[in-house]
């Protein structure tokens, strides 16, 4: 098949969708398919950062078409972009067998629907957003334009069906991780020795942004310290405009916070192995790929009860769940995991078993089957 993957940002831009699309493109290419990725020149949406002039994607075994992202002036602070050059570059050339819209945003939807109309090709969509957005006729109208829909969780599938979308158009295909990269993990002391951390280590991995609940986590750790003693809070990920504020908040609340920037996959695994608690306090989340990575590293997990997270963080079974923006409940959960090592070990063991079922190889196999199904329709 000739497969077009459409995504707003792509590595070296950082994020769960970005890493997932890259793995999908790589593995489809290895299976003999001809893959092209249509994306933007963005490194980050908010604050706006572009790839450096002269950037080259050399060494990637598939084609990457990057287009200049143009912000919508009144939506610039929300990271709303589109790419006018998409409407020219994909109007001619070899016809793709199928195109996959990775994410429900202005960039991907406008490009996808244009390609669908201009090229008369089949189109699949994965929304990669909190399924709570699946509630109104406008969203239904957009989704019904696609020939197939990928739901990442049962909740997402249920909401799509409740919108009245034809169930035969939907497939449940969760995100996956490369399980082999977690087969041999580093020693617990490696990250701690490198960073000089000796006490309780609370880890967050993802975009450094208040919209991810990073400020709530600082407040929670500040409270938790009264019960469990001093903690070091590590933020691993790219700054999305909130780091300065979060540094000041940490100092005011007496929390030792380390901002590592974006870590390599190996360094992130080292941090996950070393932590006492992995916390994901997101206010909105489609799936939470970093949770699976934390589980595979044996890290006890506490996360917010939103979006697709409860699919993998099952209360008192594979982790602890709290309400979003509830720093007291988050603090209580952190205290439980730090104090009760038996509980932490039990949750971590069951979580690792669950996470081991989310293989990227299986994800790609299911996508490949779904592409063939859509093409045959």
User: Do 198 and 169 reside in the same domain of the chain?
Assistant: no
User: Do 242 and 323 reside in the same domain of the chain?
Assistant: yes
Give the C-alpha distances (Å, rounded to integers) separating 142 from 49, 75, 159.
Answer: 29, 20, 15
Q: For position 169, what pLDDT does the model report? A: 97
Phi, psi (5° rounding) for residue 148?
A: -155, 150
Is 95 a residue whose pLDDT tops 80?
no
Confidence of residue 156 (pLDDT cuts 50, 70, 90): very high
For the chain, give the number of residues.
Answer: 377
User: Do 23 and 158 reside in the same domain of the chain?
Assistant: yes
Is 85 a residue whose pLDDT tops 90?
no
Give the C-alpha distances (Å, rounded to integers) separating 167 from 160, 164, 334, 376.
Answer: 8, 8, 40, 17
Report how many domains make up the chain. 2
User: Do 21 and 120 reside in the same domain of the chain?
Assistant: yes
Helices (H) then strands (E): counts for the chain: 14, 17
Residue 154: other Cβ atoms inside 10 A: 14
For residue 358, the 8-state DSSP code is: -
Q: For position 339, what pLDDT does the model report? A: 97
Closest CA to 270 of 344, 359, 352, 192: 192
Is 90 a residue whose pLDDT tops 70?
no
Is 77 a residue whose pLDDT tops 80?
no
Q: Could you read off the pLDDT of 227-272 as tens digits, one per residue?
A: 999 999 999 999 988 999 999 999 999 999 999 999 999 999 999 9
Q: What is the CATH number of the domain that holds 306?
A: 3.40.50.2000
Q: What percent of the chain has pLDDT over 70?
A: 98
Q: For position 202, what pLDDT does the model report? A: 98
Is 119 a residue whose pLDDT tops 80?
no
User: Do 45 and 150 reside in the same domain of the chain?
Assistant: yes
Confidence of residue 194 (pLDDT cuts 50, 70, 90): very high
User: Do 208 and 287 reside in the same domain of the chain?
Assistant: yes
User: Do 202 and 269 reside in the same domain of the chain?
Assistant: yes
Q: For position 79, what pLDDT does the model report? A: 77
Residues 6 or more apart whose CB falls under 8 angstroms from that of 226 comprise none
Q: For position 94, what pLDDT does the model report? A: 67
The residue segments making up the domain with residue 22 are 2-176+359-376
User: Do 319 and 285 reside in the same domain of the chain?
Assistant: yes
User: Do 172 and 191 reside in the same domain of the chain?
Assistant: no
Q: What percent of the chain has pLDDT over 90?
A: 83
Q: Could you read off the pLDDT of 263-298 as tens digits, one per residue?
A: 999 999 999 999 999 999 999 998 889 999 999 999
pTM for the full predicted model: 0.94
Decide: 232 and 255 in contact? Cβ < 8 Å.
no
- Please state, in angstroms and rounded to a whole number, the distance separating the CA atoms of residues 207 and 281: 12
User: Do 13 and 119 reside in the same domain of the chain?
Assistant: yes
- Say what the alpha-carbon torsion angle 215, 217, 219, 224 is, to the nearest 10 degrees: -170
- Please state, in angstroms and rounded to a whole number, the distance separating the CA atoms of residues 99 and 28: 13
User: Do 221 and 327 reside in the same domain of the chain?
Assistant: yes
Confidence of residue 75 (pLDDT cuts 50, 70, 90): confident
Q: Could you read off the pLDDT of 33-42 as tens digits, one per residue?
A: 999 999 999 9
- Please state, in angstroms and rounded to a whole number, the distance separating the CA atoms of residues 302 and 91: 47
User: Do 111 and 224 reside in the same domain of the chain?
Assistant: no
Q: For position 92, what pLDDT does the model report? A: 55
Distance of CA 53 to the CA centre of its chain: 27
Burial of 81 (0-12, 13-18, 19+ CB in 10 A): buried
């Amino acid at each position: 098949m000739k497969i077009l993957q459409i995504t707003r940002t792509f590595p070296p831009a950082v994020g769960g969708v970005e890493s997932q699309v890259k793995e999908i493109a790589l593995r489809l290419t290895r299976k003999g398919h001809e893959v092209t990725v249509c994306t933007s020149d963005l490194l980050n949406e908010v604050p706006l950062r572009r790839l450096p002039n002269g950037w080259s994607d050399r060494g990637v075994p598939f084609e990457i078409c990057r287009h200049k992202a143009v912000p919508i002036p009144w939506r610039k602070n929300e990271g709303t972009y589109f790419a006018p050059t998409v409407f020219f570059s994909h109007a001619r050339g070899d016809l793709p067998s199928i195109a996959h819209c990775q994410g429900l945003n202005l960039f991907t939807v406008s490009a996808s629907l244009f390609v669908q109309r201009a090229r008369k090709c089949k189109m699949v969509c994965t929304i990669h957003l909190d399924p709570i957005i699946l509630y109104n006729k406008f969203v239904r109208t957009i989704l019904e334009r696609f020939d197939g829909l990928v739901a990442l969780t049962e909740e997402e599938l249920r909401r799509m069906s409740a919108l009245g979308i034809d169930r035969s158009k939907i497939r449940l295909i969760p995100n996956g991780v490369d399980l082999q990269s977690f087969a041999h993990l580093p020693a617990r002391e490696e990250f701690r020795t490198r960073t000089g951390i000796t006490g309780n280590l609370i880890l967050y991995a993802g975009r450094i942004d208040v919209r991810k609940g990073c400020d709530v986590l600082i407040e929670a750790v500040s409270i938790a310290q009264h019960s469990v003693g001093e903690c070091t809070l590590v933020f691993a990920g790219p700054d999305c405009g909130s780091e300065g504020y979060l540094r000041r908040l940490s100092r005011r609340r007496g929390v030792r916070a380390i901002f590592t920037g974006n870590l390599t996959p190996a360094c992130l695994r080292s941090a996950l192995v070393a932590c006492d608690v992995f916390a994901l306090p997101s206010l909105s989340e489609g799936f939470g790929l970093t949770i699976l990575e934390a589980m595979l590293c044996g890290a006890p997990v506490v996360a917010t009860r939103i979006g697709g997270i409860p699919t993998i963080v099952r209360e008192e079974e594979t982790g602890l769940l709290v309400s979003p923006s509830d720093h007291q409940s988050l603090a209580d959960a952190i205290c439980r995991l730090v104090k009760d090592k038996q509980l932490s070990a039990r949750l971590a063991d069951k979580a690792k078993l669950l996470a081991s079922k989310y293989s990227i190889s299986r994800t790609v196999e299911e996508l490949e089957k779904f592409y063939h199904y859509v093409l045959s329709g």
